Amino acid sequence: MELLYTGKTKNVYRAEAYKVLLQFKDDVTGENGVFDPGANTVGLTIEGAGKSGLRMTKHFFELLNAKGIRTHYIRADVEQATMTVREAKVFGKGLEVICRYRAVGSFIRRYGAYCESGQPLDAFVEITIKDDERGDPTISADALHMLGILSPQEYDALTAQTKTICGIIKDELATKGLELYDIKLEFGRDAETGDIMLIDEISGGNMRVYKSGSYVAPLALEKAFLDENISH
Amino acid sequence: MELLYTGKTKNVYRAEAYKVLLQFKDDVTGENGVFDPGANTVGLTIEGAGKSGLRMTKHFFELLNAKGIRTHYIRADVEQATMTVREAKVFGKGLEVICRYRAVGSFIRRYGAYCESGQPLDAFVEITIKDDERGDPTISADALHMLGILSPQEYDALTAQTKTICGIIKDELATKGLELYDIKLEFGRDAETGDIMLIDEISGGNMRVYKSGSYVAPLALEKAFLDENISH
């Protein structure tokens, strides 16, 4: 298959018309050998990290598809660490849509003068542009419109879909006593139909999850969430 | 008079009920001995900088008041470098409302992947919170609402007023062949009536102005703008 793109944690291959294959790698983002989903550099390689992320991703995308949410997900092969998805065109050079239920991470670094660390937030949505060099800056609806990245209608649609999707993910995690603090999603337009759909992955690498007030790292999260699923 | 507050470039004294006196200082913000209106530290002292800023401020506030814009300005005494204003309560711990006509400064540092330096912008408004320690981060309408700083209605009112005010300032500068690239305003609520009004100063220290494509520094701007005003 033709390699279309080499990402930090995934390679992308052409599968067939309007479909691509994502190969999940064991490389994870982080710094100084510590796994940090918020980092922009590949920090280390953890054996099994690719399959672990894919198992979570498969679980959540199948859940979302079953609920009628438009996503790029078609099927996953966990043994091969591959996922077949509908081809997407991203908005601009790529956006991340963040939904926050608690004030942690960059939110508290920016607005710590007005809130306490860990304070509940009401599904607060903000968008950042994917730009490693410029530190993934946040961007407003007005700026997205003015720079030709998103129309106001598309902004409203993304924001509404994000709240719906993240609410489903939050509720699903809560069934295992896990609390979603924040999560980042990516959206794109279906290359064939132009419809807006959820793309990328949904795993510990895209979210901060806590259990009884303690942070649960991505690989531990997959075990805590999916192993228990299997045992019941 | 009672000293209420010592600012980086102004001292604030109690004048009478609901009125305060601003004493403009010759200290200007900057780094390494270079005047930089965007900087958060006092970089140097320039003799006459206080009066220069006040002359510009007086000119623009009198223009705005004459056009029916609600401002804190009552009167100025340039020789004493003082301005008497209506007392204000700021929003939260203080906000800056920025209006951009060209992509320069922090806008291009953040969104340079999507625009060229100096590219025209359509009176783009964004708000930052005054927080030196956290680098004056931008903040969205949703975040301002959620953190109890501005209601959506207040946000819309500030944005609309900013566009009106900055349009007046831009047109006024243009009469002298000067082009406004960007400007930051501050607003507050009148301590007596609660009405939203424009506060702080309006001078070269709050704006980037260019003439024939070259940046005009604050003190040169006052000369280019006001001396010509006097000579005509």
The rounded distance, in Å, linking the Cα atoms of B74 and A29 is 57
* Predicted confidence (pLDDT) at residue B187 exceeds the cutoff of 70: yes
Q: Decide if A137 and B92 are in contact by the 8 Å CB cutoff.
A: no
Please report residues of A whose CB lies closer than 8 A to that of B123: none
d(CA A114, nearest CA chain B) in Å: 6
The rounded distance, in Å, linking the Cα atoms of A140 and B184 is 17
* Predicted confidence (pLDDT) at residue B231 exceeds the cutoff of 50: no
Q: What is the pLDDT of residue A28?
A: 83
Q: Decide if B143 and A126 are in contact by the 8 Å CB cutoff.
A: yes
User: How far is CA A62 from each of CA A71, A83, A142, A169, A192, rounded to the nearest angstrom?
Assistant: 9, 12, 34, 12, 21
What are the pLDDT digits (tens) for B25-53?
A: 998 887 777 777 767 777 788 889 999 99
Q: What is the pLDDT of residue A84?
A: 98
Among B102, B140, B162, the residue to mutate for chain A (most A Cβ within 10 A): B140
Q: Decide if A112 and B134 are in contact by the 8 Å CB cutoff.
A: yes
B232 reaches A (C-beta below 8 A): no
Q: What is the pLDDT of residue B228?
A: 59
Q: What is the pLDDT of residue A164?
A: 98
Whether ipTM tops 0.85, in short, is yes
**CA neighbor of B43 nearest in space, from B9, B6, B5:** B9
Computed over every residue of chain B, the mean pLDDT equals: 93
Long-range contacts, A156-165 (Cβ 8 Å, 24+): A157/A196, A158/A95, A158/A97, A158/A127, A158/A187, A158/A196, A159/A97, A159/A125, A161/A69, A161/A187, A161/A196, A161/A198, A162/A97, A162/A99, A162/A125, A163/A99, A163/A123, A163/A125, A164/A69, A165/A64, A165/A69, A165/A198
Q: Decide if A134 and B93 are in contact by the 8 Å CB cutoff.
A: no
Q: What is the pLDDT of residue B40?
A: 73
B111 reaches A (C-beta below 8 A): yes
* Ordered domains of chain A (ranges, CATH): 3-88 (3.30.200.20), 90-221 (3.30.470.20)
What are the pLDDT digits (tens) for B67-89?
A: 999 999 999 999 999 999 999 99
* Predicted confidence (pLDDT) at residue B232 exceeds the cutoff of 60: no
Instruction: Kindly list the strands in the beta sheet with B34-35, ordered across the sheet, starting from the edge strand earlier in the chain.
Output: B34-35, B27-31, B42-45
Q: Return residues 81-110 of A near B (CB < 8 Å).
A: 92-93, 109-110
Q: How confident is the model at residue B229 (pLDDT cuts 50, 70, 90)?
A: low
**CA neighbor of A170 nearest in space, from A159, A183, A160:** A183
User: In chain A, whose CA is at the least distance from the CA of B140?
Assistant: A140
Instruction: Assess contact for A87 and A57: CB atoms under 8 A.
Output: no
Among A1-10, B118-127, B179-188, which is the least confidently predicted range? A1-10
How would you write the pLDDT of chain A (232 residues) with one tens digit per residue?
899 999 888 999 999 999 999 999 998 887 777 777 767 777 788 889 999 999 999 999 999 999 999 999 999 999 999 999 999 999 999 999 999 999 999 999 999 999 999 999 999 999 999 999 999 999 999 999 999 999 999 999 999 999 999 999 999 999 999 999 999 999 999 999 999 999 999 999 999 999 999 999 999 999 999 985 554 4
Instruction: Assess contact for A39 and A31: CB atoms under 8 A.
Output: yes
* Average pLDDT, integer, range B174-201: 97
What does DSSP say about strands B10-16 and B3-6: parallel, antiparallel, or unpaired?
A: antiparallel
Q: How far is CA B135 from the centre of its chain?
A: 17
Q: What is the pLDDT of residue A228?
A: 59
* Average pLDDT, integer, range B163-168: 98
Q: What is the pLDDT of residue A229?
A: 55
* Average pLDDT, integer, range B136-156: 96
A131 reaches B (C-beta below 8 A): yes
* Predicted confidence (pLDDT) at residue B63 exceeds the cutoff of 90: yes
Q: Decide if A111 and B139 are in contact by the 8 Å CB cutoff.
A: yes
The rounded distance, in Å, linking the Cα atoms of B202 and A216 is 50
B107's tokens: 């806008």
The rounded distance, in Å, linking the Cα atoms of B3 and B11 is 7
Query: A–B: how many Cβ contacts below 8 A?
Result: 72
Higher-confidence position of A37 and B97: B97
What does DSSP say about strands A42-45 and A34-35: parallel, antiparallel, or unpaired?
A: unpaired
